[in-house]
């Protein structure tokens, strides 16, 4: 079995990069890790992951006054390849053939991925501007050396939302589910099976997001969301009913599978210590469809103590809850215009 990207990065660091850095800059306090984008950072890479923009990568976090010197040092002394894999290569966003050890400060790493300095306490708008994928690009990859402890500090700070914000984003996912669950039946009953399927698929995505939230796990971007959900120890149980919902040929089966998934998530919500109701689903008025009980959102909102979080608009939540536009989600400056953060 060929080594994973993380294993290759570790070997590359230990056998090549570390001797260069420590041999010429003895005593340097720095961190080395494989962070940023890439399936290997999430531990989900395979052979196909290497068909473009691929080669040996590392992140070196050094003091501000040494960024240029360390980058130049590596440019001079790194080989062209290691273990049969390229060290110097071009990418689709940078045609220059060069080494891909990203040398920067811890602050600049955070700003580039998160749009904020994670070394300090985050405000409510800061937290709401984050996406799960952005946080994972800082916290999910392997760390090989952390000479200052600064990287460990920001990874610990980003471990999960503060408790009241956790309740707020969980309530937001339930509010999103409430907005459209009856449409699965309404569209199907009117003969619009395609419309019913589209709504069901969107709700399945929200349910997957909710499952991650209840497990206190940052959700990755869409490509790996299902893989990540299936690996969650408890929320992974909703994978089967969500698959049934998307495969169902009849709107009634589709709706029932979604209801089964939501009831399982509601049970998990109680298990993790968040307030909820006995049954999150109820009839939608006198129509033959189901809706989400308003009380699921209400009990969560009422349990929030922080007045700033209590004042946030219901049903808006974090950046990835109010937009699925990829250009917005990958650009921190746009995410920070979130209506949930009051434009701050």
Q: Are residues 180 and 227 in the same domain?
A: yes
Our count of domains for the chain comes to 2
Quote the strand ranges of the chain, DSSP E.
31-33, 57-61, 81-82, 85-86, 88-89, 98-104, 143-146, 281-283, 290-292
The pLDDT confidence band at residue 344, using thresholds 50, 70 and 90, is very low
Over residues 60-79, mean pLDDT: 97
Instruction: Say yes or no: 175 and 85 in one domain.
Output: no
- Whole-model pTM: value is 0.93
What tokens were used for 240? 């089967």
User: How many residues are there in the chain?
Assistant: 344
On whether both 95 and 179 belong to a single domain, the answer is no
Tell me if 320 is assigned to some domain. Answer: no
Shared-domain flag, residues 151 and 174: no
**Which structural domain, as residue segments, surrounds residue 30?**
5-157
Write the pLDDT tens digit of every residue in 200-217. 999 999 999 999 999 999
What's the CATH code of the domain at 244?
1.20.120
User: Do 195 and 148 lie in a common domain?
Assistant: no
**295 and 233, same structural domain?**
yes
Q: How many helices (H) and strands (E) does the chain have?
A: 17, 9
Predicted confidence (pLDDT) at residue 78 exceeds the cutoff of 90: yes
Is 315:332 a contact under the CB 8 Å cutoff?
no
Per-residue pLDDT of 254-282, as tens digits, reads: 999 999 999 999 999 999 999 999 999 99
If asked whether residues 248 and 105 sit together in one domain, one would say: no
CA distance 243 to 249: 12
pLDDT, residue 338, reads 57
Q: Does residue 317 lie in a domain region?
A: no
Q: Rounded to whole angstroms, how far apart are CA atoms 164 and 166?
A: 5
Q: Select, from the ranges 1-15, 80-94, 304-318, the one with the highest average predicted confidence (pLDDT).
A: 304-318
Q: Taking 50 as the threshold, does the pLDDT of residue 342 lie above it?
A: no
pLDDT in tens, 82-94: 999 999 999 888 8
pLDDT the model gives residue 244: 98
Whether pLDDT at 340 is above 60: no
pLDDT digits (tens, 9 = 90+) for 130-147: 999 999 999 999 999 999
* pLDDT above 80 (res 252): yes
pLDDT at 50: 80
119: exposed, middle or buried (Cβ count in 10 Å: 0-12, 13-18, 19+): middle
Q: How far apart are CA 211 and CA 266, in angstroms?
A: 10
Q: Output the pLDDT for position 20.
A: 97
- CA 117 to CA 13: how far, in whole Å? 26
Task: Find, among 106, 112, 107, 87, the residue nearest to 97 by Cα.
Answer: 87
Give the rounded distance of the alpha carbon of 112 from its chain centre. Answer: 15
Mean pLDDT of the chain: 94
pLDDT tens-digit series, residues 137-179: 999 999 999 999 999 999 999 999 999 999 999 999 999 999 9
Percent of the residues in the chain that have a pLDDT greater than 70, as a whole number: 98
- Are 21 and 116 contained in the same domain? yes
Residue 332 lies in a domain: no
Residue 126: other Cβ atoms inside 10 A: 18
pLDDT at 138: 97
Residue 177 lies in a domain: yes
Do 12 and 151 lie in a common domain? yes
Query: CA-CA distance, 4 to 191, in Å (whole number)?
Result: 48
Query: Helix (H, G, I), strand (E, B), or coil: what is residue 76?
Result: helix
My answer on whether 147 and 170 are in the same domain is: no
In a domain, 328, yes or no: no
pLDDT at 240: 98
**CA dihedral of residues 157, 161, 165, 166 (deg, nearest 10):** -160
173 & 249 share domain: yes
Residue 339 binned pLDDT confidence (cut-offs 50, 70, 90): low
Residues 49 and 144 in one domain: yes
Q: How many other CB atoms are found less than 10 A from the CB of residue 179?
A: 15
**183-204 average pLDDT score:** 97
Strand partners, 291: 282
Does pLDDT of 343 surpass 70?
Answer: no
Does some domain include residue 344?
no
Short-list 10, 292, 330, CA closest to 173 = 292
How would DSSP label each residue in 82-129? ETTEESEE--SS----EEEEEEE-HHHHHHHHHSS-TTSPPPHHHHHT
């Amino acid at each position: 079995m060929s080594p994973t990207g993380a294993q290759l990065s570790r070997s590359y660091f230990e056998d090549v990069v570390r001797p260069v850095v420590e041999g010429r800059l003895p005593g340097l306090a720095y961190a080395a890790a494989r962070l940023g984008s890439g399936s290997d950072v999430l531990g989900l890479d395979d052979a196909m992951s290497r068909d473009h923009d691929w080669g040996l990568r590392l992140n070196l976090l050094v003091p501000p006054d040494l960024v240029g010197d360390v980058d130049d040092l590596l440019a001079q002394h790194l080989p062209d390849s290691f273990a049969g894999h390229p060290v110097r290569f071009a990418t689709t966003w940078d045609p220059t053939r060069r080494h891909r050890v990203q040398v920067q400060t811890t602050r600049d790493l955070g700003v580039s991925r998160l749009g904020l300095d994670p070394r300090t306490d985050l405000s409510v708008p800061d937290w709401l501007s984050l996406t799960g994928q952005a946080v994972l690009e800082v916290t999910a990859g392997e760390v090989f050396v952390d000479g200052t402890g600064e990287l460990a500090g920001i990874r610990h700070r980003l471990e999960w939302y503060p408790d009241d914000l956790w309740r707020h984003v969980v309530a937001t996912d339930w509010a999103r589910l409430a907005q459209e669950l009856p449409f699965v039946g309404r569209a199907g009953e009117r003969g619009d099976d395609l419309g019913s399927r589209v709504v069901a698929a969107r709700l399945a995505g929200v349910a997957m997001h909710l499952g991650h939230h209840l497990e206190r796990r940052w959700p990755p971007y869409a490509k790996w969301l299902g893989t990540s959900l299936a690996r969650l120890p408890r929320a992974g149980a909703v994978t089967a009913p969500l698959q049934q919902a998307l495969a169902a040929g009849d709107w009634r089966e589709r709706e029932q599978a979604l209801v089964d998934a939501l009831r399982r998530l509601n049970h998990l919500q109680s298990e993790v210590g968040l307030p909820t109701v006995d049954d999150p689903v109820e009839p939608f008025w006198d129509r033959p469809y189901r809706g989400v009980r308003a009380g699921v959102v209400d009990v969560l909102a009422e349990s929030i103590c922080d007045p700033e979080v209590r004042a946030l608009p219901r049903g808006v939540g974090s950046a990835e809850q109010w937009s699925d536009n990829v250009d917005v989600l990958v650009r921190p400056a746009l995410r920070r215009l979130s209506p949930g953060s009051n434009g701050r």
